[in-house]
Amino acid sequence: MSNAASPEVYSPGLEGVIAGETAISTVTGGLRYRGYPIGELVDHCTFEEVAYLLLHGELPNETQYQEFDHRLRAARALPDVVTQTLGKLPKQANQMDVIRTAISMLAHFDPDTGDQTHDANIRKAERLVAQIPLAVAHFYRHAIGQPIVPSRSDLSLSANFLHMVRGTPPSAEEERAFDISLILYAEHEFNASTFTARVICSTMSDLHSSIVGAVGALKGPLHGGANEKVMDVLRAIGSVDNVASWLKDAFARKERVMGFGHRVYKTGDVRAAIVKKFMAAFAAKTGTQKWEEMAEKIEAIIAQEKNLFPNLDWPSARLYHALKLDVALYTPIFVMSRVTGWSAHVIEQLDNNRLIRPRARYTGPEVRAVKPRAQR
């Protein structure tokens, strides 16, 4: 038997590399959260139920749901120092930078910050699920120069957020549309931000630090920030008549059309199909059919010319536009949802922890001797 060392295997971007195990979700055979197909969760559950599933491992029964919902509503409050700080930040500050700061500040006031036990981490995660939407809404209202809208404990998480951002409670259909988007964004296996969170907590760092790191990873335009670019594309094209010529020019410039392609889903993102189906009816009620018609033609051309298919960012940006939400809110909304998945992964990692420390393939010079300074 040879004693020769195995050759180093390098996969750029860790593509296809199995970097760990998880019982939280899988994209194999279609996205499932803890075994439940994402389509069934969208059809039968609220975001709060899905949040409970991710954090606690099972869908809640009626008593568990009521108790969980009560805890979330009771936690809808920000420390005065946090709200005051949000009101003093520059109005032009990047929303993701602001949310990153808010989460870091919230760690100072959480009674369980220093407790790394499983139960304490769940309590911290539940509070963040309730607090992050408030921080997003508070700074947004400050940034647009409008009064802060108080949180309402009688509304669901989705309805309360839309109420705080827009100033009036949403219709039942608007609430449902937003809830669907939160369910779909909640979890997605070992994506860049989730892996970041797991790497951080694997050092035995705390949950809030892990979530702050995940926010930094999500900010990038190749991850969560992609949804902010979708409406830029649609507005730049302007009308369905301009689609073919605009895309031809974009292809000639080798520009990437954001919202298409996925590292894992090579034949289409199941989440995008769910939102697209919903938008067929929702757009008619919100008067945004123009964007759906353009999107349909864009999808057809890109599929034919590039063999690329929409990911979740493509239709969700149009959904948020139909809800009259500013583009600056799109990625912070992603945070509001994905904090459930991030937290579940942090908890899972810490429950059976091993420091995540990969190797690198060295590409520098071979061994060389240091010469005296006069001879260099």
Domain ranges of the chain: 24-219+327-351, 226-322
Question: What is the distance of C-alpha 174 from the center of its chain?
Answer: 20
pLDDT given at position 263: 64
Q: For residue 147, with 0-12 CB atoms within 10 Å meaning exposed, 13-18 middle and 19 or more buried, which class applies?
A: exposed
Mean pLDDT lowest among 104-113, 261-270, 302-311, 351-360: 261-270
Find the mean pLDDT for residues 183-205.
96
pLDDT at residue 2 in the model? 44
24-219+327-351 with 226-322: one CATH topology? no
pLDDT at 14: 81
Q: What is the DSSP letter of 236?
A: H
The span from the CA of 101 to the CA of 215, in Å, is 10
> CA 315 to CA 322: how far, in whole Å?
11
Question: In CATH, which superfamily holds the domain spanning 226-322?
Answer: Cytochrome P450-Terp, domain 2 (1.10.230.10)
Burial class (CB in 10 A: 0-12, 13-18, 19+), 283: buried
Q: Determine the Cα–Cα distance for residues 45 and 184; give it in Å rounded to an integer.
A: 11
> In this structure, what token pair is assigned to residue 199?
């790497």
**pLDDT value for 198:** 97
Fold for the domain defined by 24-219+327-351:
Citrate Synthase; domain 1 (1.10.580)
This prediction's pTM? 0.92
Q: What percentage of the chain carries pLDDT values higher than 90? A: 81
The size of the chain, in residues, is 376
Place of tokens 């139920």: 49
Give yes or no for residue 319 having a pLDDT over 70: yes
Contact status, residue 102 vs residue 224, Cβ threshold 8 Å: no
Instruction: Please classify residue 11 by burial: count the beta carbons closer than 10 Å to its beta carbon, then call 0-12 exposed, 13-18 middle and 19+ buried.
Output: exposed
Supply φ then ψ for residue 116, to 5 degrees: -100, 10
Please say if the pLDDT value at position 3 is more than 80. no
The Cα 262–Cα 191 span in angstroms is 11
Q: Which residue has the tokens 């260099």?
A: 376
pLDDT in tens, 343-362: 999 999 999 999 999 988 89
Mean pLDDT of the chain: 93
- Active site residues per annotation: 262, 313
pLDDT tens-place string over residues 39-84: 999 999 999 999 999 999 999 999 999 999 999 999 999 999 999 9
Q: Is the pLDDT of residue 281 over 80?
A: yes
User: 308 phi and psi, to 5 degrees?
Assistant: -115, 150
